[in-house]
Amino acid sequence: MSLKKYFFLFFILFSVQAFSQKDYVKIGGALRYNLYDKSWVDDKTDPQIAWDTWRLNVDARTAGIDMSFEYRFYPADNTHFLHHGWFGYGFNEDLYMKLGVSQVPFGIYKFASHSWWFQIPYYVGLEDDYDMGVKFDYTGIENLTLNLAYYHQAEPQGTPNYSARYSYDITTSADASIKEAGQLNLRAAYKLTKNIELGLSGQYGHNYNSVLETSEASTAFAAHVVADFGNFNFKGEYINYNYGARDNAGNKLNIIQMGAYAADYNIAAKANIYVAGLAYNIDVKLGPITNIQPYVDYSIIDKSVSNFESTQHLVPGFLITAGSVYTYVDYALGKNNAWLGAWTDGLAEGSANAKWESRFNINMGFYF
C-alpha cells in the first residue's frame, strides 16, 4: 500500500469532532533592517544599512479548522515568497494535523540556533525547513512529543525564480535535473526532566532526475538535546545526511546544488554536522529594554569526501528585547562558509587555503 493510502486511512480513523473554540482572524507581520560590515568586501561605503525584510502574517480559525499563513518580501534581493501556509485540525486533545506548507519535523524545534544567523544545518536544508505535505503532531504519551509527516514536494516557487524560497532545497543545475520528491519524516522529543529534552529524528525521501526518470534515496538522521540550567540554555545536535542524487549522465553526485532567496550554491552531498550553542538570559530595566541574552553558536560540517574541506560557522552575539522589538547584534565568523565569503563552493569542496571571514551584523525587527 502506498504512503498516500496509509495517510488517508489514518485521517479517516482519527476523524473525530474538533474542539469547539471561537472563530477569529489575526493579522500581523514584521519589519526588519540590517546594519552590516563584511570583511571580504573591499567597499569604501561599508558599513551599510539595508532593508532586510517585511512580512505579512494571518492566523485564523473557523468551525474548528485553523489556518496559518506568512508571506515574506526581501527588497534588497528583489525576491518574495511564501514562508508557510497550512490548514490545521485538532482531532482530539492529543492529535493535531497540518496540511500544506509547514515546518519539517527534524532536529531541534523551532531553531537549533540562538542568533539571527541560524546554525549551519539551515544552509543545507536541515534547520527550519519548510515543505508541502501533511504533518501529524501527537502528545498523548506523557513527556513525549511525536511528529510524523509526509512531504510530496518542496514549498512553492516564489519570485523571480525557482530558488526564490525561504528554506534551502535541492535545485536543478546545468548537468543535474533533480528535485526533491516524496519525503517521510519522523521525530520524537522526550522531556527527561522539566528542563531537559532529548530527541531523535529520521528523514527518508527521494531526489528525482527528470532526464533519467529515476530517483535516488535521500536520508538524514539527527540526535539532539536542549537543556535549561538556571538562566543558561544549551542546544546540542548531531546530524548525518546523505542526499543521494545522479547527474543527467547517470553519475552519482558528490556535490549538489541548493537554493533559497533566489540564489544557488553547491554543497557536499554527504556529511556529518555537529552543533552546539549556549545562551544566558539577563532580565534588565533599561528604558524599554527588558532582557539581554548573550550567546555563542558554533557548528561544523565534516564532509564525507576525503579531500573536501570542512565548513565552520561561529556566531557570538546578543539579543536585546524591548517589547515587540528584537535586536540581534552578531559578529558572524565563517570558514568555507557560503554566506561568509565563500559563496559558490564553500559548502562543497571548499578550499584548504580558506581564511576565516567575518560579518558584523545588527538586525533590528519590529514584530506585530
pLDDT tens digits along 250-260: 999 999 999 99
Are 99 and 87 within 8 A, CB to CB?
yes
Assess contact for 69 and 87: CB atoms under 8 A.
no
For the cut 60, the answer to whether the pLDDT of residue 201 exceeds it is yes
In this prediction, residue 5 carries a pLDDT of 46
Nearest to 301 by CA among 266, 259, 260: 266
Q: Is the dihedral of CA 263, 267, 270, 274 positive or negative?
A: negative
Indicate the helix (H) or strand (E) that contains 92.
none
* pTM of the entire predicted model: 0.92
Dihedral, CA of residue 359, residue 234, residue 320 and residue 289, to nearest 10: -170
Instruction: Kindly state the DSSP code that residue 159 receives in the 8-state scheme.
Output: B
For the ranges 42-46, 50-54, 359-363, the lowest mean pLDDT is seen at 42-46
Range of weakest confidence among 16-30, 34-48, 70-84, 270-284: 16-30
Give residue limits of the domains in the chain.
3-367
Domain 3-367 fold: Porin (2.40.160)
Long-range (24+ apart) CB contacts under 8 A made by 49-56 are 50/76, 51/75, 51/76, 52/76, 52/363, 52/365, 54/29, 54/30, 55/29, 55/30, 55/83, 56/27, 56/29
Cell of 174: 546545468
**Tens digits of residue pLDDT in 128-185:** 999 999 999 999 999 999 999 999 999 999 999 999 999 999 999 999 999 999 999 9
For residue 353, what pLDDT is reported?
95
Q: Where do runs of H (alpha helix) occur along 188-243?
A: none
Over residues 65-76, mean pLDDT: 96
Q: Tell me the C-alpha to C-alpha distance, in Å, between residue 43 and each of 17, 78, 172.
A: 61, 21, 33
Asked whether the predicted pLDDT for residue 8 surpasses 90, the reply is no
pLDDT tens per residue, range 96-122? 999 999 999 999 999 999 999 999 999
Specify the range with the lowest mean pLDDT, choosing from 3-12, 108-117, 295-304, 323-332: 3-12
Widest Cα–Cα separation across the chain: 64
pLDDT exceeds cutoff 50 at 276: yes
* C-alpha to C-alpha distance for 12 and 6, rounded to whole angstroms: 10
